Amino acid sequence: MTKAITSALNVGELAAGQVLSVPLFTFKGTDNRAPTVYVQANVHGAEVQGNAVIYQLMTLLENCHVLGDIVFAPLANPLGINQKSGEFTLGRFDPITGVNWNREYLDHKIDIAAWYKQHQDLPNDELIKSFKATLTEACHTKLQQPWGITTGHRLAVNLQSLAHSADIVLDLHTGPKSCKHLYCPEYDMDSAKFFSIPYSLIIPNSFGGAMDEAAFCPWWQLTEYAASQGRHFDVPVAAFTLELASQERIDMADALVDAKGIMAYLSHRGVIQEAVQPAKMPRYACYLKDYKKFHAPQSGMVEYCAKVGEPLLAGNTLVNILRLDLYGSDKACTSLSLDKDCVPILHFASASVHQGTELYKVMTNVFEFPC
């Protein structure tokens, strides 16, 4: 039986003096050639199910032969998780500045050409080690800025520093009211078939601010640049964001399903010795450019008619919008639909919306992954 080693990461302090710290649990691997893993959950305060998945994963790993080091950071946003406003958790953004906690990671903006020129004589393993050091050092420099850094940067860059030391990075999120979906970089599409997740978004090589992008973008850029110089190797780092259904929900049985999907991926990558088969299930995807946000064209009370995770034909009702103040007119109840086929992936959490609220995110031009 393998036991996790417990530690903690200091990520700030609150006005009344409390230290903000993230609990860390490390499973030491027995083979230092095996890939290393970093898994975090709950960076958005209301997105708690990742903690349950980490709980199930750690329970499973206790009975495994772990080859590569695995670090778990559940409860990764100790400020956001405790931030209530009314009954719900207001943990999506810094309550002072409004900045999304998930948009505070460091954009390295490395001059890849210059870096490569300087290090091109290194063999592959040294090149990778050196690039990893460059990324980690940039995080440390950011944390030591003489004029200080924001609360959000301190949290994010501390986590990012941990992530950069791993070969595999998993960031566990949820949607508002959502089906499960995976953010998967285009170069790594084959990995999507290991997770127990029916829908994947295929994302390009550009930094949008999230942890997965912070983790893989520099490596993808390096790999592409090296290839342009005639040197070919696989992108050395894999990073995914898993959206594990809806926020404000803990479901231990469903967490086990997702833990097993992650185990199948870790098994495939040689992080654990045991062979774990992925779930047999159809898996679908679309490119990020085909992932559409539908904003409320009018305000009102919303009946969400389209189910997340189920295909919706063009013209079928997406929502009904009630406007009781207009009762007696033809605007008292309005049905809205889209003019193309889609799969609704998530919808807004509340049943009342202002004009312009993001009502649904839907996949269009969906295709099935070959098994």
The neighbour count for residue 128, using CB atoms within 10 Å, is 17
Nearer of residues 81 and 363 to a second copy, judged by Cβ? 81
CB of 193 to a second copy, least distance (A): 29
Question: Which residues within the stretch 74-113 sit at the binding site for a second copy (CB under 8 A)?
Answer: 74-75, 78-79, 81-82, 84-90, 92-100
CB of 48 to a second copy, least distance (A): 5
* Of residues 102, 283, 132, the one with CA closest to residue 216: 132
Binding mask 157-196 for a second copy (x = CB under 8 A): -------------------x--------------------
231 binds a second copy (CB under 8 A): no
151 binds a second copy (CB under 8 A): yes
Question: Which residues within the stretch 259-318 sit at the binding site for a second copy (CB under 8 A)?
Answer: 292-304
Q: Residue 121: what residue type? A: D
Nearer of residues 153 and 181 to a second copy, judged by Cβ? 153
154 binds a second copy (CB under 8 A): yes
Question: Which residues within the stretch 324-343 sit at the binding site for a second copy (CB under 8 A)?
Answer: 324-328, 332-333
Phi and psi at residue 365, to the nearest 5°: 50, 45
Whole-number Å distance between alpha carbons of 22 and 20: 7
CB of 126 to a second copy, least distance (A): 36
Q: Site for a second copy (CB under 8 A): which residue of 34, 37, 43, 54? A: 54
Rg (CA), the chain: 22
**Residue range at the interface with a second copy (CB under 8 A); choices 105-113, 186-194, 221-229, 243-251:** 243-251
Nearer of residues 50 and 185 to a second copy, judged by Cβ? 50
Q: Is 273 exposed, middle or buried (0-12, 13-18, 19+ CB in 10 A)?
A: middle
CB 290 within 8 Å of CB 199:
no
Whole-number Å distance between alpha carbons of 1 and 22: 25
What stretches of the chain adopt beta strand conformation (E)?
5-13, 19-27, 37-41, 70-73, 84-85, 88-89, 168-175, 177-178, 181-185, 199-203, 238-246, 284-287, 291-295, 300-304, 317-322, 333-337, 343-347, 352-353, 358-363, 367-368
Q: Site for a second copy (CB under 8 A): which residue of 16, 114, 275, 371? A: 16
CB of 110 to a second copy, least distance (A): 22
Beta-bridge mates of residue 367? 285
Question: Which residues within the stretch 195-214 sit at the binding site for a second copy (CB under 8 A)?
Answer: none
**Residue range at the interface with a second copy (CB under 8 A); choices 15-23, 123-131, 199-207, 227-235:** 15-23
Report CA dihedral (340, 326, 324, 90) to the nearest 10 degrees: 60
Q: Site for a second copy (CB under 8 A): which residue of 39, 48, 170, 203? A: 48
